[in-house]
A and B are shown apart, each in its own frame.
Chain A
């Protein structure tokens, strides 16, 4: 019976514990064991991220194409699915040039800073039931603080390029990311208040009897919308892509980058997209938690048989799709309008909303 259950609900924890046992028999030293485990985790994470970025790149192109009544990539591979691989190979073979007047050290460091900060934020995410790299007790706090470090990489890239367009892009990014951090923080806090914990696994557990977006009524819905808007701005995607703003700044902070260094910015953009969507899915939509309706036991059981990882990725990709939908529909804002939106609308609303959520939590006005 246990085997059958495993067949239906493929559990990563089962895989992880078996791997751990197998390694324990091979390596006696506990330090070496830890290092080996970390290496395996790191390499599999990297592989996962690269595949994820390939997939997201393909998805973005297809979403864009279908919204623009055209076909999109359809030459390389079946239905163009290998197009992004071909592009990566092209970028790999391009000359990675460094401009003459640039600050060479910072210029070459910046892409790595950007990628590393976005990779760090993956650590506390729960991909499936009992499958988490690092269940730290300050999960949300960790994610927000790490993701706000991305601005350093962008500023570094813009400044060291010694290009005025890059510099303007970098300064825009500074203003933008710093201000939108506030809204993201406040909208996350509303769930922290309701669930009473910063630990991501606790937050997911608190949604076992219903996702927060359903349980939390309108205030949580508002903070969900604010989170989606602010995080779109945070990861510099249209309509908030002022740091790149191709039509204004010819590429913004990465104007001078080419080849693999440019690909790293692209990589970090997609990782960031995945992270914010995964966070939104975890916090508001219950992470890997299946969809349950009250007392409908049969329905709930059927939902349980859908693998938890599928739930997580389904929700995440739903939100990724929405953010892509934004990008391929809206024109870009102007820099002062962008800041107006944050300081005049998002921030006051999210502050009022936090107040409401606190009241809800105190009086227990949720299911």
Chain B
């Protein structure tokens, strides 16, 4: 499916989706509560069949966080990027997609650890790298550490 077709079809599924076509892939920007309703058909519909979640990450934009899901299909070989915007910076929450792609489980642990995003319905949410005693979320822009060496 080309970018245009994807954009058209996705617009049908989610009314609130905004699109950004400047980059290499089609970017779909949605608010965080809309994530599951959009992403489930993307995985399950035969025409999309985005079965391969190859990159999950989070970007801290200071006044909001955005979760970035890079999806591709091993069947159709088309790619799209779903960006879910989390507006609540102090207590960010989003639905887990670990039930849809198993790779999300460990990756969401990493994001929880480094960004502090809580994933709802995640089977085993824990701090993967830093341990439970660690204060703060290092990859946030406002994170400061007294031991940090500034070069």
Q: Do chains A and B touch in the complex (CB under 8 A)?
A: no
List residues of chain A with CB under 8 Å of any chain B CB: none
List residues of chain B with CB under 8 Å of any chain A CB: none
